[in-house]
Structure 1
Amino acid sequence: MIENCWNILVATEQEQLKLGAALAKFVLPRLVIYLTGDLGAGKTTLSRGILTGFGYQGKVKSPTYTLVEPYEFETFIIYHFDLYRLVDPEELELLGIRDYFHDTSIVLIEWPTKGQPLLPEPDIRIDIKMLTQGRQLCLTAHSLKGQQILQQLCA
């Protein structure tokens, strides 16, 4: 497992959206990104930034009650999961969780610990910590692909 952590400070929600959009420039299908942090840390904000970075212009809502929201693009699909309300990881089996990880998907997962052990390892894990002013994001690569993406983003 590759573990290089890049720490990034963002002062505002707008900066967090810009970081997500910048990350989207390097993200390719067949990628899994875990988003962790306390309630209100900005996991959905970062997801919204990633989606807008790909050109999505609609409303991006947290899929807290639906568990997953799909966003279809011309050649790939982004699945945005929010597992906060997941009671038992076995619920993911009923949802057909394995079907979401394929060659044309990018999967964003908020609260990934609630889906263990049924989720694949991430390529990138983003831990968001709330500060008095802004947020600290620790971006960690867990695969070679993830490392290449973060090196490009943080160059």
Structure 2
Amino acid sequence: MTQPKRAKLDDIGDIQFLETMAIITGSFMIPALKRLSGGSRFFNIINKEINELERKISALKDDLNNYQEKVNCLIEKTSLTNELNDKNEEIIILNSQIEEFQKLIAQEDFSKNEDPIVGTYKSSGSANGRSNHRKRNSNTIEQIQRTANQKK
């Protein structure tokens, strides 16, 4: 009975096959692979590949962290933009109210130096304001108009 020949790993395909086998079968294959590969040459190649993969994983983690920071910034900018849009809408509403008041003021005739005619009410209730009963001021609109006509 003849002994089987010891395998030599001169071909890169054989090395890749053995790497795949090591991954599939687990760590119990490492001593056998070491014997088959003729020593540390095989493990140097594996270590280089592992180091390269770890470097790529680290770079991907860094990229992921950078993208997460960018996403957080975009979320914050979106929130601030929404707040800004709300404030702009409020400003537009307030500007339109100011314009309406300016139109009303422009329509008023302030050339007459008369008191404005206002129907005022005086409370006849208690000091704490619980009474709902109110009576009109003794000056009626007609009396105020008569007084204004007499001044002319």
Tell me the TM-score normalised to structure 2 length: 0.20
Larger helix percent: 2
Tell me the TM-score normalised to structure 1 length: 0.20
Query: Which structure has the higher relative contact order (CA within 8 Å, separation 6+)?
Result: 1
Larger strand percent: 1
Look at both structures and tell me which one has the larger radius of gyration over its CA atoms.
Answer: 2
